[in-house]
Chains A and B, each alone.
Chain A
């Protein structure tokens, strides 16, 4: 999964929700950056969705978190359905 999500996938979410979004992998206490999209902003970094050792962080002034999380889940499901 960590290699399946591209900056293009995240760019769509970033533009739609007007956020910066980035995808990370957790090892111990560390969240390592994998890929991201959207402009850097001086806003708090919020971990909005975790699936196992993978997570999505977002910076946004105001965004619909529930809807964004649903779309992240859809993205993951779509990627999981693609045969390796």
Chain B
């Protein structure tokens, strides 16, 4: 394992991390853009809408326009189950309009669980002495990637780190370079990770530049809860994470450092979900207003029991835990409110929930997930140990099983990473998502990468189901050529398809 430098005093490091000048400049009169009272006022002032009013708002979502907080609060007030059903169907329709029918997969890759923070709900918190602390060396990291890219077949990962001097900006940058450097021979071609997204603590601009320079995909930081008082309660004030605005403005710093793909999220179950959904919308609007580019993805993990977490013993807090019914509503509302963004549902959720909620607007999910440090190369993907991971997984299906299940429902899995490798980033990707152009590329790149995966990694059963899906997808594209897809685009795609079938890899549109 990576040697943690004991010479570096954690205290002296902690004191240097937060740079107030990097967030204070974005605040107005010393206040951040989340106004708790105003959010509650918006929610309380909204009334149960008529069907007509709901349909007006849904039409705006389908036009890929970000909803206003008032509009979102109005949708939250819907009570009629039939109207909710209409909203679920519209959420799926909106997702298909922006991203077509594909589901993108990824794997979390936990690199380090050393952490100086002490968040009450987290298995990595510093006071949890039962947690085994580990940080991968670059050699160990390569072994993890060899399994992910060479045996499972993932093309994108989200690398995860605790907040600690041993996993600072330099370590994260080195891990990104290492992950990209691995190439593994497969049945017909080779496997590699083509997009490294990062979930790490809020960094300063200089450190974020280091991640930008090594080609980070998306930089993901969740606020956990937007509610100031709850944030203070759950994140002790003598820790780095206790500083609300340092975390809230990290995406601003990322843009300043040149990273134009950022992701936001909430850990649902910490506070009232209605408030948090409004918080996410305010955050998306802030980024759109300031930088012209909203969040690339939004995540909505729901809290699960973490090792020795005191939060789970507090009866008073349990009122905020989110039911399955409300969880589905949350996902639907986020899809409708921020229609252009990617939505990620993870293996924290059970198979049953994922199978249901995937189709109210989700775009990405994980599989063959292991969240223990070094767990992929340890080859015990179905085994979970609460003392070695941040939380417990609800769905331990392998990637092959997930792809097979989706194929049986006629859904294509995509391993596409093409967008950020041909400049479909920042303003450009926002325009393409909002105008509906991106979905054409999503569809074609899904076909190309699915072909790669079926040839290199699929079991016989999954391959059989997958061949039917790919046949149907190609037939759809052919039928829409030249009306939707130009002949040049179709011909190029089919030429690439042929080359990939013959063993070439990483051809994209």
Contact = CB atoms under 8 A, between A and B. Distances in A.
Interface string B178-205: 0010000000000000110000000000
Interface stretch (A10-18, A28-36, A68-76): A28-36
A31 B422 contact: yes
Interface residues of A, number: 21
Contacts of B424: 33, 45
Contact of A33 (B215, B429, B440): B429
Interface in A9-56: 22-24, 27-33, 36, 40-45, 47, 55
B215 A28 contact: yes
A31 B435 contact: no
A30 B258 CA distance: 12
Contacts of A24: 422-423
Given A42-B486, A43-B486, A28 B422 contact: no
A9 B486 CA distance: 27
Contacts of A31: 420-423, 425
B127 interface: no
Contacts of B427: 33
B216 interface: yes
Given A40-B435, A42-B437, A30 B425 contact: yes
B428 A36 contact: yes
B486 A22 contact: no
Contact of B489 (A22, A23, A42, A55): A42
Contact of B488 (A23, A47, A61): A61
Nearest to A44: B492
Contacts of B423: 22-24, 31-33, 36, 45, 55, 57
A36 B176 CA distance: 28
B379 interface: no
Given A43-B488, A44-B488, A32 B431 contact: no
B110 to A, nearest CB: 21
B422 A45 contact: yes
Contact of B422 (A23, A27, A41, A57): A57
B475 interface: no
A72 to B, nearest CB: 15
A30 B217 CA distance: 7
Contacts of B214: 27-28
B213 interface: yes
B395 interface: no
Given A33-B260, A33-B426, A27 B213 contact: yes
Nearest to A53: B213
A77 B180 CA distance: 34
Contacts of A22: 423, 428
B432 interface: yes
Contact of B486 (A33, A41, A47): A41
A42 B420 contact: no
Contacts of A32: 258, 260, 420, 423, 425-426
Contact of A44 (B260, B428, B509): B509
Nearest to A22: B423
A16 to B, nearest CB: 20
Task: Please provide the 10 A-B residue pairs with the shortest distance between their CB atoms, ordered closest to farther.
Answer: A28-B215, A24-B423, A33-B428, A45-B422, A30-B215, A40-B437, A33-B423, A31-B423, A33-B426, A42-B440
12 contacts: A23-B423, A28-B180, A28-B216, A30-B215, A32-B423, A32-B425, A33-B424, A33-B426, A36-B428, A40-B432, A44-B509, A45-B509
